[in-house]
Amino acid sequence: MATIKIPQVFQLYTGGSALLTVEGATLTAVLRDLAQRYPELATHLMNRTGKLHQYVHLFRKGEELPRVEADQVLISQDDDLVLVPGIAGG
């Protein structure tokens, strides 16, 4: 299974876990699995259609995964993903 590193700001919704394992062969399937197991986390990461909010970013090997056509973004079982919330301020 792939893993997702969860930043501290979202660990409140994962029972304190900083690293989660997720199932799915595509980004869409991984997000669906994450939403099923952590529904409260999902409300902070995704919109009602299951797509990542604009201010949430998911990286693999230092590169941001594309949001468009997430069902075509392949995820392998040994992928290490990193979830990064957007930061705003002024």
Under CATH, which number does the domain 2-85 receive? 3.10.20.30
> From CA 50, how far away is CA 33, in angstroms rounded?
11
Write the pLDDT tens digit of every residue in 16-53.
Answer: 999 999 999 999 999 999 999 999 999 999 888 888 88
Q: What pLDDT is stored for residue 48 in this prediction?
A: 86
Domain spans of the chain? 2-85
Q: What pLDDT is stored for residue 90 in this prediction?
A: 63
Torsion region of 16: left, alpha or beta (phi above 0 gives left; psi -120 to 50 gives alpha): left
Q: What is the gyration radius of the CA atoms in the chain, in angstroms?
A: 12
**pLDDT of 88 above 80:** no
pTM as predicted: 0.87
Write the pLDDT tens digit of every residue in 16-25.
Answer: 999 999 999 9
Q: Count how many Cα atoms sit within 13 Å of the Cα of residue 6 in the half-sphere of its side chain.
A: 21
Q: What pLDDT is stored for residue 42 in this prediction?
A: 93
Tally DSSP H helices, then E strands, for the chain. 2, 5
